[in-house]
Copies of this chain bind each other. A is one copy, B any other.
Amino acid sequence: MKGNDRVVRQTPERKGAIEFFDQPLTDEGGIDFEIIEGFFFAYRDFISDPDAILERSGFGRAHHRVVHFVNREPGLTVADLLDTLKITKQSLARVLKQLIDSGYICQLAGPEDRRQRKLYPTRAGRELALALAEPQHQRIKRAFDGMSADDRRAITRFLTGMQNARDANRDERQ
């Protein structure tokens, strides 16, 4: 942190000096605040599109993720899904149950290991996934507008680079 040049002292209600800062935090230590904020706003707006659709079905973001990944990889097991989402099975339980009960996802016992529940989207489930992806696709298309192939590759690289190393060995959760 820089020196005290940014510090101001005042005595509100005559109750002893309170030290506070009145200068914007901009580039202390070369930190990319623009990117940090840009990421926050971009993600929030990105997620708000499907939110509006989900509301009509009485679902939330958690349902979105489940529908998305089950469509992306039909036949994945509950354990696979937990591993992808990094949540507990108790958190998944309610959401998954609702999606199954509403007919968006169905379960089939694993052919080799019958303890497993392999998850598949129904037609409604596939249509929901597509409907939810559509506005996000449009938003991405708009953001990509006028960009070169190099630029687009850079963005994919960036998104990958921002992620934690995809763990080879699953971490064991409860």
Query: Which of B35, B73, B155 is A24 in contact with, Cβ under 8 Å?
Result: B73
Q: Does A62 contact B (CB under 8 A)?
A: no
Query: Which of B7, B143, B150, B162 is A151 in contact with, Cβ under 8 Å?
Result: B150
List the one stretch of A26-34, A51-59, A91-99 in contact with chain B.
A26-34
> Given A130-B28, A133-B33, A164-B45, A21–B150 Cβ distance below 8 Å?
no
Say whether B123 contacts A162, CB under 8 Å: no
Say whether A143 contacts B161, CB under 8 Å: yes
Say what secondary structure dominates the interface of chain A: helix
Q: How many monomers of this chain does the complex have?
A: 2
> Given A29-B130, A161-B145, A35–B108 Cβ distance below 8 Å?
no
Say whether A159 contacts B28, CB under 8 Å: no
Q: Does A22 contact B (CB under 8 A)?
A: yes
The interface on chain A, measured as residues whose beta carbon lies within 8 A of the other chain's beta carbons, has a size of 81
Query: Which of B21, B30, B38, B74 is A21 in contact with, Cβ under 8 Å?
Result: B74
Within 8 A of B (CB), among A1-50: 1, 7-8, 10, 12, 18-26, 28-46, 48
Q: What are 13 of the A-B contact pairs (CB < 8 Å)? A: A20-B74, A21-B125, A22-B75, A25-B72, A25-B121, A31-B133, A36-B133, A41-B163, A44-B86, A45-B163, A139-B162, A143-B162, A151-B158
* Chain A residues packing against B (C-beta within 8 Å): 1, 7-8, 10, 12, 18-26, 28-46, 48, 65, 68, 71-75, 86, 106, 108-109, 120-123, 125-127, 129-130, 133-134, 136-137, 139-145, 147-148, 150-152, 154-164
